[in-house]
Every structure is written in structure tokens, then in C-alpha cells.
Amino acid sequence: MAPLWDVAVVGGGVVGTAVARELTRHRLDCVLLEAGPDVGAGTSKANTAILHTGFDAKPGTAEARLVARGHTLLSAYAAQAGIPVERTGALLVAWTEEQHAALPGLAERAAANGYDRCDLVDAAELYRREPHLGPGALGALSVPDESLVCPWTTPLAYATEAVANGVTLLRSCPVTGAERAGDEWQLATPRGPLRSGWVVNAAGLRADDVERCLGHDDFTVTPRRGQLIVFDKLARPLVRHVLLPVPTGRSKGVLVSPTVFGNVLLGPTAEDLNDKSETASTADGIAGLLEHGRRIVPALLDEEVTAVYAGLRTATEQADYRLEFRADDRTVCLGGIRSTGLTSSLALAEWVAGSLAAAGVDVGERPDAVGVRMPNLGEEAPRPYRDGDRIAADPEYGRMVCHCERVSAGEIRDACSSAIPPVDLDGLRRRTRALMGRCQGFYCSAEVVGHFARHTGRTAPQILGLAS
């Protein structure tokens, strides 16, 4: 008979991997099921990558509480696990009298959320802090603890630590059905039925479908697409802070932000769609973003665009998260984690562990749980190509394969032999930055593919999807 897991976590995005990490730091046997070929490859890979303070959340909501707590937890964890974080701070810029008048109220909202470090900044000071800001700004609210975080290393770190502490990770393993049999759940998967005491639904855009499999029909996910433009690294000196708009009810609005990789982002849009796989960029979306960019940092439009991408927010009928802890049927729902799940991930995981303990599940701490230290992908800390001692000890770190992003043969080798190796070029990109630079693989893809093939025992046509 198949083994009986204590907890099955459905979905290997930043939320599900955070939960798996947290539970395996306790005495629980967990399995993490991811429908796709990799962890962190859904919405978690395509966001604006801001570590939010939660200053602008609606006070009293689950989101407000969990984002604030998540900011504290992820800030500490990132330092420990080597996840790149840059503390740029944010400036919420007012462009109209109405927006300017709203700033004191936003500072009060921040205080109601327990965040008291916001300051009002007049126009002169704003332009001193951001000399490339477009003309016409009337002032800003400064939010010094808004930070940049690496969206790719974060779920990878959680999953790597979970695996190191004994979680069984099953990739390409969607849950397609569920049945309650006595005290346990039987989950249908392509690898056969899987037995578990508890089920945690962290299926992101598909959380409503998984809820229905588990016998609950409380909400529907509407994908809200956010398109973004990535500008070349030469644009980086134009922007010092995250430049936020005054938020609307529907989204956080279009921002200009540096990234931990040294680029500048412009976006996202907010478009409600029907199709949960519609992550294409559109001409209208990009044109609209460029209009915003022209106002916020006009010089940005003279810079080269490196890439465009889009992510889908999990909007539901209510603005807050859809959290359910059901001790009666042993299911937990982490749905509707719309615009802030990267930040709140560790707080959501803490909430799950706390709720299990409160329900009488023995979740005692494991004293032998280990931590991880991830390869650095950020620009703020030294990367291997800048580390002479490392290159002297292992010349593969000095052999450049991707020149735009300065990714070495040693880093590609390490990624391929890591605990959760990439299965495709997208996965390799998220572990090393290879192919994501200004040439987008035009010059280096043959060599990157060659290294990837050598380390994975596959052929280049197989990697490129041209042969099975």
C-alpha cells in the first residue's frame, strides 16, 4: 500500500514551497506536489519582486497582517539563505493635487498597519532623491523599508531546504482528484493515488479547482494579468528607489523599480482575463506601460528594452486572501494570494504550522533540521566572476558562458548538480541568470545549451524540445 503522508502540499510556487519548508522543520512527513516541471515556475517567477512592508494594505485584513509579518520573516531568512535583497526603499509619488492630498492618509494607514517609518517628502527633496523623475511631481511618501528581492531564489531556497529536511518533491505531478477515505485523503495523480492525512492547497491560479476536488466551492480565481518591461542595465543609474504610484483599489498601479539583477522594471498592467494560461504580452499593454514610463522617468524611454513578460494575479471575488483552515476535513486553503504572496510566503507557512498545532497535530520542532545557502544571483553581493580566490580554486568560475549576465561554466555545473536541478532552459535561467541578459541568448545560447547538455546527459535537440 502507498505510504501515508502527514501532509500533502499541492502547488510548488513560493507559497507551497514555503509551507513545505516550514512543516519539514517540524516532525511532519510531507510531500510537495507540483503540476509543472519545476518549482517557482508559475506566478512566482513573474512578478515585480518587491519585498513589501504592507504599509498600504487594508488594515485588519489577513493580507495586512501576513505581509507585515512576512516582510520581517523573509528579510531575516534571506540574509541566512543568501537570497538577494536590496534595501532601496520606495517613494510613492503624487502627480495630482488629489494624490498629494491622499499622502497623509496613506501614512496614517501605514501606521494603522504597524508601520511608522513613512515620511512626507516635498517636491524639492523628492527631485533631490530622484533626479531623473519626470516633471510635475508634487511630493511623495517615503517608505524606507520597501525592498527588492530575488523572486527566483526565494522559492528555490524554500524547496531546497524542504528537500534537505526530508520532504518528497514530486514534479510534473498534478493532483487531478481527491477522495476522503476515513481519516485520510486519497489524491489522484498521474503517478497513482497518494495518501495523506492533511492537504494544503497552494495551487495559485488553480486553487479554486483544487478546492472543488476537495469538496469546497467558495471562490473562483480570475486571472489578472500584469505585463512588465525589463530595461537594460544601463538604465539602472536612472532609478534609486522603487517609484510607486498612489494605489487604486484594483491594483498597486504601474511602478518603476530597480531589480536585484541590476535592471529596471516598468509595470505591471492589471487586466482581468478568462484564460489562466494567458501570459502573453500585448502591443496595447506595452504601449500603455511606455506612456506611464514617459511620465515617471522620461529618460527610461531612451534605454534599450531587454525583455517583456507577464504574470497572472489570482484575483477572486474578495480583495483579501482566501484562507481556510478546516480541522473537520483536514484541509487548508491558501487561495487568492493576489499581489503580495512573495512577501507573505513565510508568514502563510507560519500560519499553517500554527493552525495545525492549535488543532492538536504534533508539530514539535526538529532539532536536526538544516538550513541552506543559495548561490548569489544578485548584483549587490559578489558573484563568482568577481571572486578571485574562488576562481583560483576552481577555474570553471572564471570561464564565462553567458557574457551579458556574466554566468560561468562553474555556476551552470553547480545548478545541474543541485538538490533540485533544472529540467529546462527556463529553470537554468532562474538558477543562474544565464540567457536573461541584453542578448537574450543570441550570442551564448549554443554554449549554454552545450554545458547544460553535458551536465544532464541530454542532447541539445532534446533540451531545445526538437527531439524526445
Which parts of this chain interact with ligand FAD (CB under 6 A)? 10-16, 33-36, 41-44, 47-50, 52, 174-175, 202-206, 210, 226, 268, 311-313, 337, 339-343
Question: In angstroms, what is the minimal distance from the CB of 256 to ligand FAD?
Answer: 13
Question: In angstroms, what is the minimal distance from the CB of 33 to ligand FAD?
Answer: 5
Strand 50-51 to 90-94 pairing: unpaired
Residue nearest to ligand FAD (CB): 13
Question: In angstroms, what is the minimal distance from the CB of 223 to ligand FAD?
Answer: 9
Instruction: Give whichever of 211 and 303 is closer to ligand FAD, judged by the CB atom.
Output: 211
Q: Is 3 helix (H, G, I), strand (E, B) or coil?
A: coil
Distances, alpha carbon 446 to alpha carbons 313, 348, 460, in Å: 34, 41, 9
Instruction: Give whichever of 261 and 385 is closer to ligand FAD, judged by the CB atom.
Output: 261
Question: In angstroms, what is the minimal distance from the CB of 212 to ligand FAD?
Answer: 11
Instruction: Give whichever of 13 and 378 is closer to ligand FAD, judged by the CB atom.
Output: 13
Q: What is the dihedral of CA 400, 436, 415, 367, to 10 degrees?
A: 130
Question: Looking at residue 247, what DSSP letter applies?
Answer: P
| CB of 396 closer than 8 Å to CB of 410 | yes
Phi/psi for 176 (5° steps) reads -110, -5
Instruction: Give whichever of 42 and 441 is closer to ligand FAD, judged by the CB atom.
Output: 42
Tell me how far apart the alpha carbons of residues 263 and 13 are, in angstroms, rounded to a whole number: 24
Q: Is 390 helix (H, G, I), strand (E, B) or coil?
A: helix
Instruction: Give whichever of 174 and 245 is closer to ligand FAD, judged by the CB atom.
Output: 174
Phi/psi for 294 (5° steps) reads -60, -35
Instruction: Give whichever of 45 and 455 is closer to ligand FAD, judged by the CB atom.
Output: 45
Instruction: Give whichever of 37 and 382 is closer to ligand FAD, judged by the CB atom.
Output: 37
Tell me how far apart the alpha carbons of residues 2 and 8 are, in angstroms, rounded to a whole number: 13
Burial class, 183, CB count within 10 angstroms (exposed 0-12 / middle 13-18 / buried 19+): exposed
Q: What are the b/e assignments for 189-202, b being 16+ CB within 10 Å?
A: beeeebbbbbbbbb
Instruction: Give whichever of 175 and 332 is closer to ligand FAD, judged by the CB atom.
Output: 175
Q: For residue 453, how many other CB atoms are within 10 A of its CB?
A: 17
Considering only CA atoms, which of 40, 135, 118 is closest in space to residue 83? 40
Question: In angstroms, what is the minimal distance from the CB of 270 to ligand FAD?
Answer: 8
* Residue 16 CB-half CA count within 13 A: 36
Question: In angstroms, what is the minimal distance from the CB of 155 to ligand FAD?
Answer: 7
Tell me how far apart the alpha carbons of residues 312 and 46 are, in angstroms, rounded to a whole number: 8
Instruction: Give whichever of 309 and 397 is closer to ligand FAD, judged by the CB atom.
Output: 309
Question: In angstroms, what is the minimal distance from the CB of 64 to ligand FAD?
Answer: 13
Q: For residue 287, how many other CB atoms are within 10 A of its CB?
A: 9
Question: In angstroms, what is the minimal distance from the CB of 385 to ligand FAD?
Answer: 28
Question: In angstroms, what is the minimal distance from the CB of 144 to ligand FAD?
Answer: 17
The β-bridge partners of 228 are 309
Question: Looking at residue 214, what DSSP letter applies?
Answer: T
Tell me how far apart the alpha carbons of residues 397 and 374 are, in angstroms, rounded to a whole number: 16
Question: In angstroms, what is the minimal distance from the CB of 106 to ligand FAD?
Answer: 18
| CB of 82 closer than 8 Å to CB of 376 | yes
Instruction: Give whichever of 13 and 384 is closer to ligand FAD, judged by the CB atom.
Output: 13
